[in-house]
Structure 1
Amino acid sequence: MAQKSEIEWTDATWNPVTGCTKVGPGCDNCYAERFAERWRGIVGHPYEQGFDLTLWPSRLKQPTLWKKPRMIFVNSMSDLFHKDIDRVFVDQVFDAMEAADWHVYQVLTKRSSLMRNYVRKRYEGGQVPRHIWLGVSVEDAAHSSRIEYLKQINSDARFISFEPLLGPIEDVDLQGVAWAIVGGESGPRARPMEEGWARKIRDLCDRDDVAFFFKQWGGARPKSGGRLLDGEEWNGFPWQVVPEPMLRALQPEDA
């Protein structure tokens, strides 16, 4: 069964793939690698293989077993568009998401061009199903080209995770993006995030009508610095792209 998540912007995680390799500075202190490597060599543990790239066909049917609608972060412990994952298996993951369509799936990648190419081919230029949200991770201005690849995908539910935010983001055009999440790095070697970087993204979101979610300042632990930006919590969420009939199940009464 998928695992209940402590990540503020999702309900649960589902990992049909685990393990990955580094593609940029945002990967340097990867929390998933740090967690998985603790268990390397422990026979019978799900991470006996550490953070080596591993496919889990036995987990493909897990979403169908969860009857209540949930926001599901897909592959919190990997990247579905890693170049060494066979496209046939990626097809199977998408098949599973399409079959259990009462959930909302959040698919996040740093390999933005591979995601764009895959979904263009799968949906033949048509729109990605509304319950499958596709996003990119962007840690600094040098990697903001991932946003342009994201915007080339035919979807209303595009999102960006600026986490860990390691540097300022330029005056990028966020029009067509539904949601932006900002967070500082956490862990024993956490690199600090400056207030001005987070404010800049908040202001860009306000300009381009993007829901803005401020996750954390980070530090030694995820909660070390709290969640307040300029004395407020920012819990923006793109309700306008949540498909029916899931909206009532996911939306709080006061939203």
Structure 2
Amino acid sequence: MAENTAISWARHTFNPWMGCTKVSLACDGCYAEALMDKRYGKVQWGPHGDRVRTAPANWNKVKKWQREASAVGEKWFIFCASLADIFDNQVPPAWRKDLFDLCRECPNLTFLFLSKRPQNMIKMSEAAGGLPPNCALGATCEDQKRADINLPHLLIAASRLRAAFAFGSFEPLLGPIDAAWAMSSNLLEVAAGILDRGHFSPGLETLRRLQWVITGGETDQGDHKARPSDPAWFRRLRDQCTASGVAYHHKQNGEWISHEQMGGGWEYTRTKDGIRYGVLSEGDFEKTNRLFGGRDFPTEYPWNTAGPGGWGPGPCMVKVGKGNSGRLLDGREHNAFPAVA
């Protein structure tokens, strides 16, 4: 579906403004900060930096996409915004209203509002005149703790605001997550999951479940070095989607792959500073260099802290780079999208 964006789960990316503040572990390697603040100096990141609205020409191209999508009778997914958070506290409310007004003018475009602040969605959307019906709400969840915090807020907001659908972005995935309750087709289970996490559930007549799950590994950004994601963490969410009939999309593996994906074994492991390490044999070291362009790989790689199901040592991870790790999970791409009315 991607056209003018490298993001596989959207056709286009639109940034109405730039700038944000880090709020969770998922923000540690923020590519938007590395690019727009540290590299280009276009916006200052953090709570004391002013958000920067993009030029009118950038806003006008959205109307062009609407005309093009309408002409071919299609619905296009627009990621809004990759360089900001729509529900950031530092964004002037008038800008959000302008964005919502633009969305209403473009019914053939489905705007994907991915946020790390789902607790702000209801208040800020209502202040902007209500969420347009062609806007989907999503929340980033990098580990179980964040999923238990964000998913109830997301589903409550998607239900109350009548979002096009609710989706979860489990990227960068930094730990095993059980989100089966939020995907369940039995809305009583969804309501019980919200209640178990300390919130009152909307009524079943309006209650939404997760309809789309996106997973991905972390990539290097500036001084931040990517943390590995155990493939078992991706599989767990994939299998929960399959069981519940939820669309599953795997964006990327990140900088790392497991050594099992290379088909090799390990001579031995050792512990250093509380981290388990696997050591490549001489043959595996040569194989790694041959497969991935002759790069000078170290011979030791960290084990993940948890294996399948969240317990025990996971696979030893090999850092091969984003371009080499690819998007395959168990030998195939996962490119599902949710249905849009």
TM-score tier, shorter chain, comes to 0.7 to 0.9
Partner in structure 2 of residue 174 of structure 1: 182
Q: How does 1:1-16 map to 2 (within 5 A)?
A: 4-16=4-16
Which entry has the higher C-alpha Rg, 1 or 2? 2
Deviation string, structure 1 residues 209-241 (Cα, Å, up to 9, x no partner): 210111111007533311111222111111x2x
What CA RMSD, in Å, does the superposition of the two structures yield over aligned residues? Answer: 2.1
Task: Structure 2 unaligned segments of length 5 or more: list them.
Answer: 70-75, 184-208, 256-319
2:215 match: secondary structure: strand
CA contact (8 A) 2:134 2:164 kept: no
Distance 1:174 1:208, change over 3 A: farther
Pick aligned residue for 1:222 from 322, 325, 331: 322
Distance in 1 of aligned mates of 2:31 and 2:117: 18
1:237 aligns with 2:337: yes
Amino acid at match of 2:35: F
1:146 aligns with 2:146: no
Shift of the alpha carbon at 1:55? 2.2
* Structure 1 runs (4+) greater than 4 angstroms displaced: 120-124
CA contact (8 A) 2:137 2:165 kept: yes
Pick aligned residue for 1:207 from 220, 232, 243: 243
Q: How does 1:1-255 map to 2 (within 5 A)?
A: 4-36=4-36, 37-40=38-41, 47=42, 49=43, 51=45, 52=49, 53-56=51-54, 58=56, 59-66=58-65, 67-69=67-69, 70-119=76-125, 128-144=131-147, 145-152=149-156, 153-154=158-159, 155-175=163-183, 176-187=209-220, 189-219=225-255, 221-238=321-338, 240=339, 242-243=340-341
Distance in 1 of aligned mates of 2:90 and 2:139: 19
Shift of the alpha carbon at 1:208? 2.3
2:114 match: secondary structure: strand
Deviation string, structure 1 residues 159-178 (Cα, Å, up to 9, x no partner): 11100111111354123111
Distance in 1 of aligned mates of 2:329 and 2:178: 20
Distance in 1 of aligned mates of 2:84 and 2:322: 19
Distance in 2 of aligned mates of 1:107 and 1:9: 13
Distance in 2 of aligned mates of 1:231 and 1:64: 39
Distance 1:33 1:122, change over 3 A: closer
Distance in 2 of aligned mates of 1:95 and 1:222: 37
CA contact (8 A) 1:130 1:157 kept: no
Give the number of equivalent residue pairs: 229
CA contact (8 A) 2:18 2:53 kept: yes
Amino acid at match of 2:134: H
Provide the identity percentage. 32
Deviation string, structure 1 residues 126-164 (Cα, Å, up to 9, x no partner): xx5442111111111111121111111223411111001
CA contact (8 A) 1:10 1:72 kept: yes
Distance in 1 of aligned mates of 2:10 and 2:164: 18
CA contact (8 A) 1:216 1:227 kept: yes
Shift of the alpha carbon at 1:19? 1.2
Distance in 2 of aligned mates of 1:7 and 1:171: 23
Distance in 1 of aligned mates of 2:321 and 2:123: 36
Name the structure where helix makes up a greater proportion of residues: 2
Distance 1:104 1:156, change over 3 A: closer
CA contact (8 A) 2:113 2:138 kept: yes
Distance in 1 of aligned mates of 2:111 and 2:55: 18
Shift of the alpha carbon at 1:76? 0.6
Distance in 1 of aligned mates of 2:10 and 2:96: 21
CA contact (8 A) 1:216 1:223 kept: no
Distance 1:222 1:117, change over 3 A: farther
TM-score, normalised relative to structure 2: 0.62
Distance in 2 of aligned mates of 1:207 and 1:123: 37
Distance in 1 of aligned mates of 2:126 and 2:178: 28
Deviation string, structure 1 residues 93-135 (Cα, Å, up to 9, x no partner): 11111112221211110000101333356566xxx54421111
Partner in structure 1 of residue 281 of structure 2: none
2:220 match: secondary structure: coil
Further displaced range: 158-167 or 96-105: 96-105
Distance in 1 of aligned mates of 2:21 and 2:128: 25
